[in-house]
Amino acid sequence: MAELDTVPPEVHSTPQTPALRNTDIKTESHEEEGENENTRSCGSEPRGRLEETVTESKREGRIPEQGAPSSGENEITCDFCLEGKVRAVKSCLTCMVNYCEDHVRPHQENSKLYSHQLTKPVRDTDPRKCSAHQRQLTWFCCLEQQCICEECTQEDHRGHPTLSLEAVRREKQAELQQIQLDLDRKIKATENVIARLQANNKSILVSVSEMKAVAEEQFGELHVAVRKAQEDVLLFLEKKEQVALSQASGIKKHLESKYAELENSRHVLERMANITNNVLFLEEYCKFKKNIEDSPFPSVHTGLKEKLSGIQKVIMDCTEHLIQLLQNYKEKLEEFAKEEEYEINTEMSAVVPHNYRTSIPEPSCRVDFLKYAYPITFDPDTAHRYLRLQEDNHKVTNTSPWQHPYPDHPSRFEHWRQVLSKQSLYLNQYYFELEIKGEGVYIGVTNKNIDPKGSESNSCISGNSFSWSIHWNGKEFSAWHSGSETALGVGQFQRLGIYLNYVRNILSFYGIEFDTMVLIHRFNCDFAEPVYPAFWLSKKDSSIQIIELSEKAEILHSLPIVSPTSSAEATS
The per-residue pLDDT for 136 is: 80
The per-residue pLDDT for 486 is: 95
Query: What is the pairing mode between strands 561-562 and 516-524?
Result: parallel
The per-residue pLDDT for 343 is: 57
| 160 contacts 143 by C-beta, under 8 angstroms | yes
d(CA 379, CA 392): 10
| 526 contacts 518 by C-beta, under 8 angstroms | no
| 130 contacts 157 by C-beta, under 8 angstroms | no
| 148 contacts 140 by C-beta, under 8 angstroms | yes
Q: In Å, what is the CA distance from 96 to each residue of 70, 90, 124, 334, 512? A: 19, 11, 9, 68, 45
CB atoms within 10 A of CB 291: 8
| 472 contacts 520 by C-beta, under 8 angstroms | no
The per-residue pLDDT for 254 is: 81
| 467 contacts 534 by C-beta, under 8 angstroms | yes
d(CA 20, CA 37): 13
Which stretches of the chain score pLDDT less than 70? 1-73, 93-94, 124-128, 293-295, 297-303, 338-359, 550-572
Residue among 33, 29, 26, 35 nearest 1 (CA): 29
d(CA 26, CA 24): 6
Measure the CA angle with vertex 505, ends 503 and 510; round to 5°: 115
DSSP state of 321: H
| 118 contacts 41 by C-beta, under 8 angstroms | no
| Exposed/middle/buried for residue 511 (C-beta within 10 Å: 0-12, 13-18, 19+) | buried
List, for residues 361-408, the tens digit of each pLDDT value: 889 888 899 999 999 999 999 999 999 999 999 999 999 999 999 999
**Under DSSP, is residue 433 helix (H, G, I), strand (E, B) or coil?**
strand
d(CA 241, CA 362): 81
What CA dihedral angle connects 369, 375, 378 and 382, to 10 degrees? Answer: -90
Query: Which distant-in-sequence residues (6+ apart) come within 8 Å of 492 by Cβ?
Result: 472, 475, 476
The per-residue pLDDT for 72 is: 56
The per-residue pLDDT for 312 is: 86
| Exposed/middle/buried for residue 359 (C-beta within 10 Å: 0-12, 13-18, 19+) | exposed
DSSP state of 39: B
Main-chain dihedrals φ then ψ at residue 134, nearest 5 degrees:
55, 35
The per-residue pLDDT for 248 is: 82
Q: In Å, what is the CA distance from 126 to each residue of 53, 133, 207, 308? A: 8, 16, 63, 105
| 404 contacts 390 by C-beta, under 8 angstroms | no
Give domain limits for the chain.
2-128, 304-347, 356-568
Q: Which amino acid is at 345?
A: N
d(CA 442, CA 87): 66
The per-residue pLDDT for 39 is: 36
The per-residue pLDDT for 73 is: 63
Cis peptide before 375 (omega within 30 of 0): no
Given this structure, which CATH class describes domain 356-568?
Answer: mainly beta
Main-chain dihedrals φ then ψ at residue 528, nearest 5 degrees:
-125, -15
d(CA 529, CA 531): 6
pTM for the complete prediction? 0.53
